[in-house]
Structure 1
């Protein structure tokens, strides 16, 4: 399917799930989408949508799953977004977001899945991320321009199973605390400029419980 998403979608006041994955929809997200107050699941993955994500989508406070990945969205004025306390799954992968990490995401305290890969986000990863998003199970920041050292506070992600930070500009040593994450199974740190030794803590668990990808 192609064309734009009609503004009349706002009349579907009882809609709970909207899944338009893998089509060719174009244009912007209609602002009328904010009328769908019963929404629980929104996926516009892999279309040709563009423009900014309207802050009004944050009015949809009941949404648990939001996937806007693989489109052409650009950076917005994130300060206009409201916290979304029930959101658990957020993907903004493979868009055209630039500049610093979207700090409004730090208000989504129940996130378990966060994918911001394949954008042009830069600057250091905010220290507050490690204390505000402690329920994360999967974190993917691959193929951005994040820089600076990796904080030892990454150990705050005690529920993390999947960590993907490859193809960025991270440097310095890999913190010893990364090996203390009790649930961690997959770690990708390649194509950064880390230096020094691989922390011995990464080898403390039985090898059959770990999946390692080259670090450099």
Structure 2
């Protein structure tokens, strides 16, 4: 009997040992030490978000800490928008099971530790809207599981590491609003799953790499506000999935293909302002039915603007500072076509070479229109009384034209009114004194006569008023 009991005891002991061997290692002391070191670097925690971080409780109950359900190891650290002030801690790289690191919108400073490349399981890295400086460590390429990198709105400098082209499952990459220099690496063309590439507001220069045309899943391409130059590679216009294409404020040149909007049928935002583009507006423009915002401003576009009847969703349209014309009987027909755009809020054709009678169809534009900017052209005729139908209009800029007649008394709600350098005449409507939100008004160098309305004193927000070079009498109301 004793022998049997001994055998059973040995068997149970062996079974228990085997069972313990199979159980996951629940020791998370390494993670705890890493988090406490991370907390040590925090110099300001005004809302006490880290008060729960103490050794008397499980780290998996600490605010912002996520743990795996099986191994009890830290898999996520999410402390976005917690007003923390801290130096970037190298000890964060000891969280070897970390998959998500989100410290967005705090006051972290210092450099990104080179050791971050040791986080082999990291999938999401969000450090946006902090005060992080230094260079982007090339060791990030060691985090081969990364899908999201957002380092935007910091003070990063130096170049974009070409090694990031090895992150083959990366989907979203943003370095926007930093101080980065150098070229856009051609290796980014290897990121075949990339959906968003955000590089705007840096100091990048050189050409757009032709290799970016291989990013067949790309939805958003933001490289605005840099010093990127040269022509846009034709391969970019093969990215039929593109929704956002933002190239504004660069030194890009050349012609856009006439089939641009049929090649990129999903475009909702096309911002090309402040470059060196030339040639005609693409003839496919009227087919871009998904467009919401279009900016062709401050380039060298010439020729006619096509009719835009089908752009039902458009809310922002800017052609200003180009060399566009309105020759022929139907040269201004595109303005009449805008009456079909019921969501239009901003429309500008300022500083072009448009001629002819000021279109009366302006009065039929969208009731949502807030800005109408048509100065610096050669429009003639009267401002239609029906412009008062535009009840949401806050800015009307028609300066430097050849307009005549009177100011419509129907104008309402304006905050900014610029009619300088025209041939307008008659008296200044007393109704302008009803514009309680009026902030700036320029009526100089016209042919106005009569008395300056005393009711202008009702415009309590008025900061700028120019009535010079007219035939007006009286004092400007204070």
- Give, in whole Å, the separation in 2 of the partners of 1:37 and 1:83: 14
State the match for 1:162 in structure 2: 244
State the match for 2:425 in structure 1: none
State the match for 1:15 in structure 2: 98
**Structure 1 counterpart SS, 2:179:** coil
State the match for 1:78 in structure 2: 161
Check conservation: 1:152, 1:177, Cα contact below 8 A: no
**Structure 1 counterpart SS, 2:149:** strand
Pair 49,61 (structure 1): closer, same or farther in 2 beyond 3 Å: same
State the match for 1:120 in structure 2: 203
Deviations 1:26-53 (A, max 9, x none): 1111122222222111100011111111
Gaps of 5+ in 1: none
Deviations 1:58-116 (A, max 9, x none): 11111111101111111247245461111000000011111221233222121010100
Residue of 277, 285, 291 corresponding to 1:210: 291
- Give, in whole Å, the separation in 2 of the partners of 1:72 and 1:103: 23
Q: CA offset at residue 151 of structure 1?
A: 2.8
State the match for 1:141 in structure 2: 223
Once the two structures are overlaid, the 10-residue window that deviates more, 65-74 or 169-178, is 169-178
* TM-score (normalised: structure 1): 0.92
Q: CA offset at residue 195 of structure 1?
A: 1.4
Check conservation: 1:150, 1:175, Cα contact below 8 A: no
Q: CA offset at residue 171 of structure 1?
A: 1.4
State the match for 2:434 in structure 1: none
Aligned pairs for 1:53-72 (under 5 A) are 53-72=136-155
**Structure 1 counterpart SS, 2:270:** strand
The question of 1:97 aligning with 2:216 is answered no
- Give, in whole Å, the separation in 1 of the partners of 2:191 and 2:272: 25
- Give, in whole Å, the separation in 2 of the partners of 1:28 and 1:113: 24
Higher RCO by CA contacts (8 Å cutoff, separation 6 or greater): 1
Residue of 216, 227, 232 corresponding to 1:150: 232
- Give, in whole Å, the separation in 2 of the partners of 1:15 and 1:151: 39
Pair 72,55 (structure 1): closer, same or farther in 2 beyond 3 Å: same
Check conservation: 1:152, 1:178, Cα contact below 8 A: no
Check conservation: 1:40, 1:62, Cα contact below 8 A: yes
Deviations 1:158-201 (A, max 9, x none): 11111111111111222224212121111111111211211011
Deviations 1:116-152 (A, max 9, x none): 000011112122221x212100110010011112233
- Structure 1 segments of 4 or more deviating over 3 A? 79-82
Q: Between Structure 1 and Structure 2, whose CA radius of gyration is higher?
A: 2
**C-alpha RMSD over aligned residues:** 1.6
Gaps of 5+ in 2: 1-83, 298-478
